[in-house]
Amino acid sequence: MPDKFAFLFHGQGQLPSDVPTLSPELARLYETVEAQGMDIRDWISRGNLARLTATEVAQPAVFLDSLARCDALRRHGVEAHAVSGHSLGEYAALVAAGVLSAASALALVTRRGRLMAGVPGGMAALLKLDLGTVTRICAAGAGCLVIANYNGPAQFVVSGRLDALADAERLAVECGGRAVRLAVSGPFHSPFMRPAEDGLAPFIAKTLFAAPSIPFVSSASGRVEVNAEAVRNLLATQITSAVRWTDALRALGDLGVTDAIEVGAGNVLTQLGKQAGSGIRFHSFEEVLHAGV
The residues annotated with a catalytic role in the active site are 87, 189
Distance CA 134, CA 147 (A): 8
Going through 75-121 in order, the beta strands assigned E by DSSP cover: 82-85
Integer Cα distance of 125 and 204 in angstroms: 29
What DSSP string runs through 29-67? HHHHHHTTT--HHHHHHHT-HHHHTSHHHHHHHHHHHHH
Nearest-angstrom CA–CA distance, 290 and 286: 6
Q: How far is CA 190 from the centre of its chain?
A: 15
| Other residues' Cβ atoms within 10 Å of the Cβ of residue 151 | 22
End-to-end CA distance of the chain: 16
Instruction: Please state, in angstroms and rounded to a whole number, the distance separating the CA atoms of residues 121 and 240.
Output: 13
